[in-house]
């Protein structure tokens, strides 16, 4: 289980996160939604320690990991998947994946690179390609696959649909849904594309101006027309 309590962060005088609280249950997808600038990406970056939190706590399976050094989080089983451009463009697909497996969750079995190629056959075809040659969808597969190499229990995904064709988005979301079940993952999915996100999410959290304005089962949020119009744009 992954829980964020009263988390706050600021860029200089600007408060980007203001007391955000939510929990993400094991084996579920929790979607974090909101307009551009609502604080979604900041939330993930604060959890990962890339942005320093000013207040609040982050708990992973009951353990307080607030302000843990970014580099240590994978060993605790938390993997942050940056936006699709977060491939290391100069390395090959295989090298990106190998890199992902170097710092695994403590006590976990190493995952063979071949396992990712089974999940994403497309990557297997391009295993020796340098990452900057990949298409947007392939890159997104690569960053997810790379995160899986670390055997995480919690996966933080930042806008996996960004800049992808709808067909590719649904392909990736389907894969993700499957993974949650087979790997018993806790997924926190940050998305601007709320409609697609809610379609695979179990739970939804809506952020606005750094605050949680709604937190409810995904179906409930999708049904709340007012909320959808005000914050989710569909």
Partner 1 sequence: MQQFLDTTLGGLVLGAVYAAFALALCLIWRSTRIVNFAQAAMAMVTTYIALSLINADVPYWVAFVAALAAGFGLGALIERVIIRPVEGKAELNAVILTLGLFMVLHGLTAITFGVQHRGFPAPVSTNAIEVGDTSIGITPFGILSIVVVAVVMAGLVVLFRFTDLGLRMRASAFNGEVSRLLGVRVGRMLTLGWALAAAVGAVAGMLIAGGDLVNPSFMDPFVIYGFIAAVLGGLDSPLGSVIGGLILGLSLSYVTGYVGEHLAPLVALGILMVVLLVRPSGLFAAAAARRV
Query: Can you give the binding site for partner 1, defined by CB under 8 A?
Result: 48, 50, 70-75, 79-80, 82, 86-91, 95, 98-100, 102-103, 146, 150
CB of 159 to partner 1, least distance (A): 15
Nearer residue to partner 1 within complex by CB, 28 or 48: 48
β-bridge mates for residue 134, sequence order: none
Nearer residue to partner 1 within complex by CB, 120 or 231: 120
Residue ranges of E strands in the chain: 2-11, 14-24, 29-33, 53-60, 63-64, 78-81, 154-158, 186-191, 203-208, 211-217
Nearer residue to partner 1 within complex by CB, 56 or 152: 152
CB of 129 to partner 1, least distance (A): 13
The CA-to-CA distance between both ends of the chain, in Å, stands at 30
Nearer residue to partner 1 within complex by CB, 157 or 206: 157
β-bridge mates for residue 53, sequence order: 9
Nearer residue to partner 1 within complex by CB, 146 or 203: 146
| 164-178 exposure pattern, b = at least 16 Cβ within 10 A, e = fewer | beeebbebbbebbee
CB of 106 to partner 1, least distance (A): 11
For 88, residues 6+ apart whose C-beta sits below 8 A from its C-beta are 95, 96, 99, 131
CB of 216 to partner 1, least distance (A): 30
CB of 147 to partner 1, least distance (A): 8
In whole angstroms, give the CA distance from residue 220 to residue 212: 16
């Amino acid at each position: 289980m992954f829980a964020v309590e009263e988390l706050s962060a600021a860029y200089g005088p600007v408060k980007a996160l203001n007391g955000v609280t939510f929990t993400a249950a094991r084996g579920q997808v929790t979607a974090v939604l909101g307009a551009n600038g609502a604080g979604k990406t900041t939330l993930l970056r604060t959890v990962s320690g890339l942005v320093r939190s000013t207040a609040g706590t982050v708990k992973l399976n009951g353990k307080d990991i607030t302000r843990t050094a970014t580099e240590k989080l994978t060993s605790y089983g938390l993997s942050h998947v940056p936006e699709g451009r977060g491939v290391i463009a100069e390395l090959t697909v295989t090298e990106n994946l190998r890199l992902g497996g170097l710092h695994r969750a403590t006590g976990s079995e190493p995952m063979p690179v071949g396992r990712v190629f089974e999940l994403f056959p497309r990557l297997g075809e391009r295993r020796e390609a340098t990452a900057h040659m990949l298409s947007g969808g392939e890159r997104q597969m690569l960053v997810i696959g790379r995160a899986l190499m670390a055997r995480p229990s919690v996966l933080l995904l930042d806008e996996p649909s960004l800049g992808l064709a709808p067909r590719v988005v649904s392909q990736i979301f389907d894969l993700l849904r499957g993974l949650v079940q087979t790997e018993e993952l806790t997924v926190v999915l940050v998305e601007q594309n709320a409609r697609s996100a809610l379609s695979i999410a179990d739970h939804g959290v809506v952020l606005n101006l750094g605050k949680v304005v709604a937190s409810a089962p995904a179906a409930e949020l999708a049904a709340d027309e007012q909320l959808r119009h005000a914050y989710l744009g569909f």
